[in-house]
Amino acid sequence: MSHPPRLPAPFRLRALASDLFVVDGPQRFLGVELGGRTTVVRIGTDLLLHSPMDLDPALLAPLGTPRWLLAPNKFHHLYVGPWQARGLEAYAAPGLPE
């Protein structure tokens, strides 16, 4: 398994398997630093982002092209809108606005 590209601080990208990665980075909620994590699944040359964070898509370019978003619940949807505005297909938990 090759090493994933380095991301600028404060983000960190780790490979879990050849086509499975996590990006760890800052996330504040109600003034408390909780940390955030986006799971990235590579399918061919496209990427599925599970619980996307506020991250420059160019940083993921070495892995592939972001194509799909998954917001699994009402706590992991904060940045779906900006990613969706870039043209990605979004899938979200029931109850989230379209």
pLDDT at residue 75 in the model: 62
- The pLDDT assigned to 93 comes to 64
Pull the structure tokens for residue 53. 């964070």
Q: pLDDT tens, position by position, for the chain (98 residues)? A: 556 666 657 888 899 999 999 988 877 777 877 777 889 999 999 999 998 888 888 888 999 999 998 887 666 566 677 777 888 887 766 655 55
Name residue 85's amino acid.
Answer: A
pLDDT value of residue 45: 96
CATH of domain 12-92: 3.60.15.10
Q: Delimit the domains of the chain by residue range.
A: 12-92
* Residue 46: C-alpha distances to residues 2, 78, 89, 95 (Å): 18, 22, 12, 27
Q: Per the confidence metrics, is the pTM higher than 0.95? A: no
Confidence (pLDDT) at 86: 81
pLDDT at 17: 96
